[in-house]
Structure 1
Amino acid sequence: MTSHNTLRAILAMVVSMGSFVASDSCMKLAMEHAPLFELMLMRGLVSLTVCLGLILALGQAGSIRRMFDKWLVARGVLETIANLSFIFALGFIAIADLTAIVQTCPLFVLLGAWAFRGEHLGGQRLFLILVGIAGAMLVAQPGSGAVSPLASLAFITAIASAIRDLLTPNVPKGMPPLVAALTVITVLTLTGLAGMLAVEAPVMPGPREILLMVVSGTMAVAGHLLLYLTYRLGEARTVAPFMYTLTIWAVLSGLVIFGEVPNRLAIAGMLLVALAGLAIIWLDGRQRKAEALMAVEAAH
């Protein structure tokens, strides 16, 4: 793998994380004047249009029938749970705080792999997972005020996302990433439609809300596509640490767009979550090198 491709992969990861934060920021702005499920429906329709356009442009239309695979649908349901929890909390919690808690997702993935697949975790990783969760609790600051109970929604987002990721290896090999994304977007869009019809009084969106949802839907698809390209161009252990730039983007969004300034405890918690994740990635890299050296020595 060339260093040029590695740099492109890192750039794709950083821009991907920024795209997701941009999408969520647009949603937060639009929620000031329009109901949640209606906005989900609007964003979903934009994302569907963009995703289908890319599928047709890439000549993958024949794969659309595979979008109903049971594992893809299960991932779509879990993504919907994660998305609903996140978006609802977004109306009450600073975007940087919410994003920092959600970044415990990789730590929950490790716990799930250990609990349900019997994958070896080790004392160091278990300690780092606990450090990361403790950092998330510093961000949530339970008992500090009326908003903190809603921080539990961020943990629901992280856990649902972790289960989604644990199910991903069950998806049939060769599934086009855009088709997998199409399933998720379809489930989210149908949820928005059902929720709007069941519990909301639809309102006529203004030009501002329409524009925000066009940007939000487009940024969501861009984020998923760039994330896919990241792992096609670079090695996971090299590019994965840059996923934590999501928190940096969220802090910038909070400061510039919403005037939200994290307090000292929240900043300390964000650093703990990021450092715990990076330390686990470093441990994995060291373990792979040791295993590769042992394999070479065994061959001789």
Structure 2
Amino acid sequence: MSTATSNARGIAGMLFATASYVVCDTFMKLVTLAGVPPFEVLFVRGIFAVAWCAGLVLVLGQWRGVARGFTPASLARAAFETAGVMFYIVALSMMPIADVVAIEQIAPLIFILIIATIGRERIGLVRFGLIAAGFVGALLVAQPDASGFSTAALLAFASALFLALRDVAGRKVSSDIPALVATLATNIVVLAASGIGMVVTETVVLPSARNTLYLVASGFFVTLGHFGVFMAYRLGAPAVIAPFFYSFAVWAMLSGLIVFNEWPNPLALLGIATIVASGLGIILVDRRKPRPIEPILPE
């Protein structure tokens, strides 16, 4: 297989993965709009996500390594991701999907700042400028008023922070652990935490048959998303594949328009474009370095 063909397949895999994540989030938002509480949505989806992911691990013959997904480092990573996902689902229930996704995409920028702080790595003026632009874009999306940020926007920012911390913790996770095994472990932790959140803070609402099917599909598509990312980076060069992660914003806007009849206002559109441009700029700058920083993936 030629390099060009391999990269083309990797790009297709990444486009497929980001579309799958947005389909997952679309189904979850539909269920929250039907009156099912956010943590319950995440818990029920988690049941199916664990089932789908476990099936994929079995089919790919990776089940022998499942125990390695529960090492202290892996569990620390899963804990940060769980916090990020729980903030995300609540924000998603309150805010247009394109806006939540856009704010979420500042996670790689936060990640760079954290690594630069704790690792004393030099950011450089260009990267710092791109990071600053990304945060300005997030402010344009959040659009705080005289009373400050909305609760939904603050939750989306909190989600981005915890996803950044997840990838900081992920640097300690052994590369010998297969990506899908780590995903399965994370799904199990998310399932347990969302179950606790549901019992402690929510009144359980029995989902309708349609909403249950939506959550079955949501669990399936989030698993497809993880698998798509896994295959994309296997098939193509990371520096070529990484920019296509930002197709996530395009899919989210299409979902908002087609499914929810939502379209970001002009300021939010400018903010989304700024965040995407900032992320792409970081990737292009980091291509010159031996170890480029890859985008942080959503749950």
Settle same-fold status: TM greater than 0.5.
yes
How far did 1:274 drift? 0.8
Matches of 1:265 and 1:5 in 2, distance apart? Answer: 38
Counterpart residue number, 2:161: 159
- Residue from 268, 281, 284 that aligns with 1:282: 284
Q: Secondary structure at the match of 1:277?
A: helix
Aligned with residue 215 of structure 2, among 213, 216, 240: 213
Q: Does 1:100 align with 2:105?
A: no
1:2 and 2:3 aligned: yes
- TM-score by length of structure 2 reads 0.92
Shift of 1:169: 2.1
**Which of 39, 43, 51 is the equivalent residue of 1:37?**
39
My pick for the range that moved more, 19-28 or 116-125, is 116-125
Aligned partner of 1:64: which letter?
A: V
Residue pair 1:92, 1:147 contacting (<8 A) in 2 also: no
Equivalent residues of 2:39, 2:89 under 8 A apart: no
Write the letter of the residue equivalent to 2:203.
A
Superposition map of 1:1-300 within 5 A = 2-32=3-33, 33-143=35-145, 148-287=150-289
- Give TM-score scaled by structure 1 length: 0.92
Q: What are structure 1's unaligned runs of at least 5 residues?
A: 289-300
Give the Cα separation in 1 of the matches to 2:212 and 2:223: 17
Specify the SS of the correspondent of 2:171. helix
Deviation at 1:196, TM superposition (A): 2.1
**1:221, 1:209 → 2: CA distance?**
18
Aligned counterparts of 1:238 and 1:13: Cα–Cα separation in 2 = 11
Preserved CA contact (<8 Å) 1:93 1:147: no
Q: CA deviation at 1:144?
A: 6.9
Contact 2:24/2:222 (CA < 8 Å) preserved in 1? yes
Rounded Cα–Cα distance in structure 1 between residues aligned with 2:22 and 2:127? 28
- Give deviations 1:172-207, integer Å, cap 9, x for gaps: 131011110011100111112212222222222211
Mapped to 2, the partners of 1:276 and 1:176 lie a distance apart of: 30
| CA gap 1:121/1:65 in 2 versus in 1, 3 angstroms | same
Higher Rg: 1
Task: Tell me how far apart the structure 2 counterparts of residues 81 and 133 of structure 1 sit (CA, whole Å).
Answer: 21
Matched position secondary structure for 1:217: helix
Q: CA deviation at 1:147?
A: 7.4
Matched to 2:114, the amino acid is G
Superimposed CA distance per residue, residues 106-140 of structure 1 (whole angstroms, 9 cap, x where no aligned partner): 11111112111122210110011001100110000
Alpha-carbon distance, 1:7 to partner: 0.3
Per residue, is there more helix in 1 or in 2?
Answer: 1
For residue 31 of structure 1, give the secondary structure of its aligned residue in structure 2. helix
Unaligned runs of 5+ in 2: 291-299
| Residue aligned with 2:144, SS | coil
* Residues 146 and 277 (structure 1), Cα distance of their counterparts in 2 relative to 1, 3 Å cut: closer
CA distance in 1, matches of 2:55, 2:21: 20
Q: Once superposed, what is the RMSD of the aligned Cα atoms?
A: 1.7
Identity across matched positions, percent? 38
Q: Summarize the Cα distance change of 1:145–1:90 in structure 2 as closer, same or farther, 3 Å threshold.
A: farther
CA shift at 1:66, angstroms? Answer: 1.5
- Partners in 1 of 2:61 and 2:241 — Cα distance? 29
Moved more, 218-227 or 229-238: 229-238
Give the Cα separation in 2 of the matches to 1:146 and 1:284. Answer: 34
